[in-house]
Amino acid sequence: MEKEPKIIVKVDDTDVFSAKWTMEQMTVLMSLIDSNRRRTYICYALTAVSLLLSLLALAT
């Protein structure tokens, strides 16, 4: 039976997060940031298209 790695380890009577767990969390966080960045760019593009269509509608 495989033993789960510890998330919190003791170092000089202080509880700290393990390096592996911290790196996993950072990887997840970075992927969320990239996903949100892409969504933001899509929102900017849709806003620009909407603005152009509104200006076109006003001009005609």
What's the pLDDT tens digit per position in 7-60?
888 889 888 988 888 999 999 999 999 999 999 999 999 999 999 999 999 998
Please give the model's pTM, rounded to 2 decimal places: 0.60
Check if the beta carbon of residue 16 is closer than 8 Å to that of residue 29. no
Contacts of 9 (CB under 8 A, 6+ apart): 15, 16, 17, 18
Confidence at residue 7, expressed as pLDDT on a 0 to 100 scale:
85
Identify the band that residue 1 occupies on the pLDDT scale cut at 50, 70 and 90.
low
What distance in Å separates the CA atoms of residue 6 and residue 46, rounded to the nearest whole number?
46
Confidence at residue 27, expressed as pLDDT on a 0 to 100 scale:
97
Please tell me whether residue 6 adopts helix, strand or coil conformation.
Answer: coil
Identify the band that residue 2 occupies on the pLDDT scale cut at 50, 70 and 90.
low
Contacts of 17 (CB under 8 A, 6+ apart): 7, 8, 9
